[in-house]
């Protein structure tokens, strides 16, 4: 770790376009000013760590918990992600730790150049729409057969998702506009606690189906949307309730 001593008004420059300035010091607290390009999302450590933990928890789902959640919440109207069209290319297969043998073709592979939060070492995934997980779909890792996430289209739960500025992300995914992207959020069912299921709107997953490129983005402004939305299980029809999380 590099250690640098600075006075109020002094700063440091990281790379060519990020600058940190000490604005004031009050007791044990230091107020920093950060100048960075719009493509850079700046988060407090505790927020980044929470989002990473949410990804890790989302990857630990069990099919038996999903089936119980479905039996308790069949009345909830999700818009399931569209089924993947038949691909072309070399036939491939993996033995999934959660879903058993999976057959797919090379053109169905989605590349996440930076990986996902908490899983930066894994880059290749496929999107699966299966009967046993409907109305949710599965984003399954090919580099680690034990790693998979339940995902859903956020359009129905919150009537739209404000993605903010996406210019850098559009370039990274080689997309011409937002309409070229599929948007998903991860769905978390804590092991053994299906009544505590939540969807994570703080870090949606964007996929360009044309280029087969994907990215998990960190939204810069969460004031208008909950970071997590929970569905309280009911055995009779009801409405979804939201749990507003910590604002960034």
Give CA–CA dist 136/138, Å, rounded: 7
In a shared domain, residues 86 and 121: yes
Contact predicate 214/174, CB 8 Å = no
Give CA–CA dist 72/234, Å, rounded: 6
Q: DSSP class of residue 45? A: H
Highest mean pLDDT among 93-107, 108-122, 210-224, 229-243: 108-122
pTM: 0.76
What's the pLDDT tens digit per position in 11-39? 889 888 888 899 999 988 899 888 887 66
Q: Note the pLDDT of residue 61.
A: 93
Q: DSSP class of residue 176? A: S
Q: Is residue 93 part of a domain?
A: yes
Residue 157 has pLDDT above 90, yes or no: no
In a shared domain, residues 52 and 15: no
Q: Is residue 241 part of a domain?
A: no
Q: Which residues face 70 on adjacent strands? A: none
Q: Which two tokens stand for residue 82?
A: 């569209």
Neighbours of 71 (CB within 10 A): 11
Give the confidence band of 140 by pLDDT, cuts at 50, 70, 90.
Answer: very high
Q: State which residues form the domain around 55.
A: 45-230
Q: Give the position of tokens 């797919």.
A: 104
Q: Note the pLDDT of residue 226.
A: 46
Q: DSSP class of residue 27? A: T
In a shared domain, residues 89 and 26: no
Residue 233 has pLDDT above 60, yes or no: no
What average pLDDT does range 61-71 have in this prediction? Answer: 91
Task: Give the lowest-confidence range in 156-160, 183-187, 201-205.
Answer: 156-160
Contact predicate 123/111, CB 8 Å = yes
In a shared domain, residues 73 and 171: yes
What's the pLDDT tens digit per position in 203-223? 899 999 999 999 998 876 544
Q: Could you give the number of structural domains in the chain?
A: 2
- Here the CATH number for the domain that contains residue 110 is 2.30.290.10
Give the confidence band of 76 by pLDDT, cuts at 50, 70, 90.
Answer: low
Q: Is residue 70 part of a domain?
A: yes
In a shared domain, residues 3 and 113: no
Residue 131 has pLDDT above 90, yes or no: no
Q: Note the pLDDT of residue 162.
A: 57
In a shared domain, residues 22 and 90: no
């Amino acid at each position: 770790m590099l250690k640098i001593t600075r006075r109020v008004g002094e700063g440091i420059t990281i790379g060519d376009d990020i600058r940190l300035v000490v604005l004031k010091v009050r007791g044990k607290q230091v107020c920093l000013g950060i100048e960075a390009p719009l493509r850079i999302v700046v988060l407090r450590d505790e927020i980044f760590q929470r989002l990473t933990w949410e990804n890790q928890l989302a990857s630990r789902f069990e099919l038996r918990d999903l089936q119980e959640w479905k039996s308790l919440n069949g009345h909830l109207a999700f818009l399931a992600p569209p089924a993947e069209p038949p691909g072309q290319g070399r036939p491939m297969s993996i033995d999934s730790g959660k879903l058993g043998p999976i057959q797919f073709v090379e053109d169905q592979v989605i590349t996440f150049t930076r990986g996902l939060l908490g899983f930066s070492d894994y880059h290749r995934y496929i999107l699966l729409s299966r009967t046993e997980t409907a109305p949710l779909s599965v984003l399954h890792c090919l580099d680690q057969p034990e790693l998979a996430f339940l995902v859903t289209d956020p359009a129905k739960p919150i009537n739209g998702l404000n993605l903010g500025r996406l210019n850098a992300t559009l370039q990274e995914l080689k997309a011409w506009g937002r309409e070229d992207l599929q948007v998903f959020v991860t769905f978390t069912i804590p092991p053994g606690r299906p009544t505590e299921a939540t969807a994570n709107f703080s870090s949606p997953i964007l996929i360009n189906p044309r280029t087969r490129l994907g990215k998990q983005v960190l939204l810069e402004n969460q004031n208008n949307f909950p970071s997590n939305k929970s569905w309280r299980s009911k055995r009779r029809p009801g409405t979804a309730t939201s749990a507003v999380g910590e604002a960034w």
